[in-house]
A and B are shown apart, each in its own frame.
Chain A
């Protein structure tokens, strides 16, 4: 395992639920990322935070809301999701040269 942890590892939620994904990095990095990984598709960048400020929002629907309270923690708040949002959600952090290190991911299923 890398120095990036994610909880929960698995999450099943209904379309009306509100849940949050958590990511924590222990690598001393200054940038953190949320990615969506669906079957047979490349990794899709969702959000980027650098020094706790959001620098990229890759046209993600507002039902996904990120939060970065400090350089070690990143959250993804979920509400009123759709079944097509079911995927593996990966968190990553990066160092100086953007060598990104990933967490194990949260497998999300929306019923």
Chain B
């Protein structure tokens, strides 16, 4: 069935480095993707989204890349800061029936000072 998966459960980086978090999706009918950040004890926070008619979108220190050929999504965080430490997960919206989101399990980003 449809699924959203993440390549790495934990990513450790040094402060100031760039981070790349990856996500694979399996539903070619998905037309919209979102990255969320979830800090301990908090609900998921919307970071950035991208529609399937785009392959790149930039926000403040974050960039999302979409490769529909291999069904791959990535989140790039520039100059990673300790405050970026959290679980990040992607979600895809399947454009079939009611347009609900399917979420991945998440990648934990650990930023060392």
Q: Footprint of B on A, CB under 8 Å?
A: 2, 4, 6, 40-43, 45, 48, 50, 55-56, 90, 97-105
Contacts and interface: CB of A to CB of B under 8 A. Distances in A.
B42 interface: yes
Contacts of A43: 44, 89, 103
Contact of A48 (B44, B89, B93, B100): B100
Contact of B100 (A4, A45, A102): A45
8 contacts: A42-B105, A43-B44, A45-B101, A55-B98, A97-B32, A97-B49, A99-B34, A105-B42
A27 B98 CA distance: 21
Interface in B75-96: 89, 91, 93
Question: In the complex, which of the residues A6, A42, A48, A101 has the most CB atoms of chain B within 10 Å of its own CB atom?
Answer: A42
B4 to A, nearest CB: 7
Interface string B28-71: 00001010100001111110010000000000000000000000
Nearest to B43: A102
B99 A102 contact: no
Interface size class of B (residues with CB under 8 A): 20 to 34
Interface of B: 4, 32, 34, 36, 41-46, 49, 89, 91, 93, 98-106
B105 A40 contact: yes
Interface of B is mostly: strand
Contacts of B98: 48, 50, 55-56
A103 B44 CA distance: 8
Given A90-B43, A99-B49, A41 B105 contact: yes
Contacts of A42: 4, 89, 102-106
A102 B44 contact: yes
B101 A90 contact: no
Contacts of B105: 40-42
Nearest to A103: B43
A55 to B, nearest CB: 5
